Amino acid sequence: MALSDDPEMQPFLFGLFLSMYLVTVLGNLLIILAVSFDSHLHTPMYFFLSNLSLDDICFISTTVPKVAVDIKIHRREIFYVNCLTQMSFLILFGCMDAKLLTVMTYDWFEAICHPLYYSVIMNPHFFGFLVSTSFLVSLVDYKAHNLIALQIIYFKDVEISNFFCDPAQLLNLACSDTFINNIVMYFVDVISGFLPISGIFSYYKIVSSFLSVPSLGGRCKAFFTCGSYPSVVCLFYGTAIGVYLGSAVSHSPRKSAVASLIYTVMTPMLNPFIYSLRNRDIKSAVRKLHSRTVSFLGLWYSICNADW
């Protein structure tokens, strides 16, 4: 289903999707390069950020390029195998995104609430274990959904009420009884969603630490600096859970598609600005990377134009 059937809106939607995709990819790629080339950023916080940036690039690449191409060539079809492939990678990278946000919340919690023990707790082995566990849990969720989807009786010539192959939409379109599959799928999601839900406790402890700051100015500064982080997390979880749980009873497919746009496109685009590009360390690393790139290009130009 298209976001709009108005022919005059198609060029605007194409430009919107293309620009959002380019901003997301370039912003996240810049963070990965800055963290990789600056040894001062080889810490747990920036390690998690670089992994989140890589996952965001993969996550948005599962949906937006096809949507942009479909708008350009005025086509809305997708083959059954391609639909299952898109759904599988969407689940894998989306689940990984949620787990990494949770891991980053835990890292933030340890840094604020236990600063004296932070370097001991967040050692390289432990934060490597956290990322590996996040990937393995996401892989199990992806395989479970994939196996459930393959049990569905083959169907064709149906309309998915979204701009991508949403797992819940696919199950609702099946011709066979999907009650057992729905139970299994939601059970898997509850199990895999235990870690993200546990992040609520971390936010509670973090807010309590802010409230314990004696001065009003200090509390306001702390909330202003860190308040954007939980807002993005709530935006991601709120829209994803709302779309996922409300797909079976929703009577407004267009609203569901707009909500899906927030967690599949908007959140990956906002993450570089919220988590990294406002950070002074990242800005310094980006400036160093820029100067190195300019120096390298200047040297390369001189070599290419040298009179041998």
In a domain, 304, yes or no: no
Most confident of 65-69, 162-166, 256-260: 65-69
Q: Crossing angle, helix 80-113 and helix 44-61, to 10 degrees? A: 160
CA R_g for the chain: 22
Domain count, the chain: 1
Q: Give domain status of residue 306, yes or no.
A: no
Is the residue at 210 inside a domain?
yes
At 216-229, the pLDDT tens digits run 665 565 555 565 66
Number of residues assigned to the chain: 308
Crossing angle between the packed helical segments 80-113 and 194-211, to the nearest 10 degrees: 30
Domain of residue 175, residue span: 7-281
Q: What confidence tens digit (pLDDT) does each residue in 16-27 have? A: 889 999 999 998
Neighbours of 239 (CB within 10 A): 20
Res 57 pLDDT > 60:
yes
Span 180-200, average pLDDT: 62
Band (173; pLDDT cuts 50, 70, 90):
low
Burial (0-12, 13-18, 19+ Cβ within 10 Å), 305: exposed
Q: Collapsing DSSP states into helix, strand and coil, what is residue 161? A: coil
Q: Is residue 286 in a domain?
A: no
Q: Answer whether residue 299 is part of any domain.
A: no
Is residue 302 in a domain?
A: no
Distance CA 111, CA 183 (A): 39
Query: Which residue type, as a one-letter code, is found at position 165?
Result: C
- Tell me, what's the pLDDT at 25? 92
Residue 46 has pLDDT above 80, yes or no: yes
Instruction: Report, as an integer, the average pLDDT of 243-250.
Output: 58
Amino acid making up residue 226: C
In a domain, 203, yes or no: yes
Q: For residues 26 and 59, is the Cβ–Cβ distance under 8 A?
A: no
What tokens does 247 get? 């797909």
167 in a structural domain: yes
- Amino acid code (one letter) for 215: S
Query: For residue 72, what is the domain's CATH number?
Result: 1.20.1070.10
Which phi and psi (to 5°) does residue 260 adopt? -65, -35
Q: What's the whole-model pTM score?
A: 0.81
Give me the amino acid identity at 212.
S
Residue with tokens 């001991």: 120
